[in-house]
Amino acid sequence: MRNLTRQILFAAAALSVTFASGVRADETAPPPAAPPTEPAPASAPAPAATISHALITAPPLTGPTIWGLVDWFGVGVGARYMFPVGIPSLLSHTPFKDSWAIEAGLDFLHRSDDYGAFSYNYNEFIPTVGMMWMVWFRDDFAVYPKVDGGYAIGFDNSVHDCTGCGLGGVWIEGAAGILYKVGGGVTLRAELGNYGAKGGVAWLF
């Protein structure tokens, strides 16, 4: 009986020592290391800012023009119809665009003055055709040089000849002009040539 009691006490003491050692080890042991964190994925660089420029176009315009004209000796009215021409661009390596067109039409010119005995009254019809080269600086604005040619048919109704008028014949004019689109197919036009100035409205599409 005494031996049994001694064995029980011995076992209890051994359990106490083991339990105390485990608690002490738990208290003194360093905390487990945190798992390594993966580096955040590198963010893609922001796209570089781009400057958008409006694309300048050179549309193959077609349509009529009606204008008034002021000759160095009189006034008149005229009309043209524009036809596009497929000539290759001369400005393909520049920021501008160009296009070509043929215009055909008719001008009516009236010249008159009253010098008493030397008064005159002269009218002239001028059927004409010309070639123009349009250079577009913007989608709505262009300038152009132009060459027109035709045959003038004159009617002198005065007693005395109109000095400098002539009575028709071959007619050639060089001119420079501008086009400005205001929307809805409406385009304002102006020309200055060696015979005078013209200004009016076109419907070009």
Q: Give me the residue label for tokens 């359990």.
A: 15
* In the chain, domain spans: 63-203
Question: What is the SS3 assignment for the chain?
Answer: CHHHHHHHHHHHHHHHHHHHHHHHHHHHCCCCCCCCCCCCCCCCCCCCCCCCCCCCCCCCCCEEEEEEEEECCCEEEEEEEEEEECCCCCCCCCCCEEEEEEEEEEEEEEEEECCHHHCEEEEEEEEEEEEEEEEEEECCEEEEEEEEEEEEEEEECCCCCCCCCCCCEEEEEEEEEEEEEEECCEEEEEEEECCEEEEEEEECC
Query: Which pTM value belongs to this model?
Result: 0.67
pLDDT tens digits, one per residue of 36-50: 555 555 555 555 444
Using one digit for the tens of pLDDT, what is the confidence trace for 109-154? 998 876 666 677 888 999 999 999 999 999 999 999 999 999 999 8
Strand boundaries in 61-96, DSSP class E: 63-71, 75-85
Task: Examine the pLDDT at 18 and tell me if it is beyond 80.
Answer: no
Residue 19 confidence (pLDDT): 44
What gap in Å lies between CA 78 and CA 69, rounded to an integer?
Answer: 7
Q: 141 with 114: CB under 8 angstroms? A: no
Structure tokens belonging to residue 8: 């029980």
What's the number of CA atoms in the CB half-sphere (13 Å) around residue 159?
6
Return the pLDDT at 20: 46
Topology, domain 63-203: Porin (2.40.160)
